[in-house]
Structure formats: structure tokens, C-alpha cells
Amino acid sequence: MKILVAVKRVVDYNVQVRVKPDGTGVETENVKMSMNPPDENAVEEALRIKESGKATEIIAVSIGESKCQETIRTALAMGADRGLHIEVEGIIEPLAVAKILKKIVEKENPGLVLLGKQAIDDDCNQTGQMLSAMLAWSQGAFVSKIEFSGENIQVTREVDEGLEILDLKLPSIVTCDLRLNEPRYASLPNIMKAKKKPLDSLSLKDLNVDITPRIQQIKVEEPPKRQKGIMVSSVEELLQKLKNEAKVI
């Protein structure tokens, strides 16, 4: 069984995000970029499934500019077998990503597709669900545990009420939660080996996919500065301010 893992290049989670002066987006030039953290969990889970003998090949796919190949190389250094880069410029909506991944799934015919539950740059949390609908495959979102049971997989997903356990018939789409596992670090020898692993590139023309945006981004602004708090000398003064000024009681 093949496992397809989608990985996204995002601004590193330790970096303070800055909006461009012209308000057209966030600053990415000369900014540290890395693999989306939940996607790291997806790669790690794919590796563990392969190590258990349930999979034969892991394919890491990323969609975006040429620098996305660095993210794919990271997945290869962790242990993925080969990479696939879809060359696209500019901002890509979740629907467009799902359309592209659908074409890749039809081309590679994997038994399982793993994605991060959401990307930390846009927090959309839509791609996995859209891809499942397009393929008419079973899906498990926000998954914190995966177990194989014959031809099916049993997943534990986190919901508002607690934990929900689902039996999914393969092939399936699974979006991975941060609590699914602890991603491994790529060793220096594996980083060197990753440079020799196959990494193919495809264009939108090769896939014949229309990714015309349906949403127009007008402007990006930073949230308003938080105002300095007020110190009060007693509980009575606090209650008075809440009642007269904040009008919350």
C-alpha cells in the first residue's frame, strides 16, 4: 500500500509574523520557513505505518513555489521514499489544493492519504474534508490515534464532547492532530541521503486543473494593539468599573 502525505511550507511557528507595508499579505522574504507542524505528524505517522509493515512506499507531495522542494526534502530526510512537487505561484485556496491532490491520488493510487489537520498560516482546516468529498473516500479528521484492523483502520478523533472512535474503510483520508505522535528529527546521514532520493515536479498544465481563485483578498492588517490594563485598589472599585464603565454587570 502506498501512503500519500501532503506537506506545506509555512512561516516557522517561532517567527513573529509581520504584515507587508502595502497590506497585500504577510512578509515571507528573508523569513525562516519550515514544514507545517501538523504535517510533520502526518509524515511521522506514515513512517510508523511503513515500519510496522502496513505500507510499502511513502510519497511526500507539496504544492507551491520552487522553494517548497526544501519542505519535501525535509520529509525525505525523515524517511519518506520519494517526493512530488506541484509548481504553483501565488496564494492557493484550499479548494484548489484539494483539486490538485485529487489528480495526484488518481495518478499514484495510494491506499491512505495523510494531511495535517490544518495549516498554521491560514488555519482553514478544509483541504482534507474537500478531498474526501471529491474522491468519495471515508475520512477521519483531528485524528490522535490510528490502528489497522484488517482492511479497515480505526481512528480516534478529538471532538468537543471528548473522543470519537471511527472504523474507516480503506482507501481513506486522515487529517492528523498534534497529539497523534512525536515527530522524529532527521539525522545528518538521512539529510544527505535525502538529496539523492527522487523528487519529481509537475505543473498545472500536466494535471489540467483549474485553480482560479473564488475569494479575493482585499487587504491584510495586523490586529489592533491591546490597550494597557487598569490597576484597581479594591474589589469594590473593580465592581464599580465593571458596572459603570464596562457595563458588563
pLDDT digits (tens, 9 = 90+) for 46-83: 999 999 999 999 999 999 988 999 999 999 999 999 99
| pLDDT tens-digit map of 80-100 | 999 999 999 888 899 999 999
Residue 102 lies in a domain: yes
Domain membership flag for residue 243: no
Burial degree of 228 (CB within 10 A; 0-12, 13-18, 19+): exposed
Q: Is residue 55 situated within a structural domain?
A: yes
Into how many domains does the chain fold? Answer: 1
Is 242 a domain residue?
Answer: no
Kindly state whether residue 127 falls inside one of the protein's structural domains.
yes
* Residue 239 included in any domain: no
Does residue 168 belong to any structural domain of this protein? Answer: yes
User: Within 10 Å of residue 102's Cβ, how many Cβ atoms?
Assistant: 18
Identify whether 10 is part of a domain.
Answer: yes
Dihedral (CA of 111, 145, 120, 217) sign = positive
Look at the pTM and tell me if it is higher than 0.75. Answer: yes
Give the domain range for residue 26: 2-223
| DSSP state, residue 160 | T
Return the CATH number at 77: 3.40.50.620
Q: Average per-residue pLDDT in the chain?
A: 90
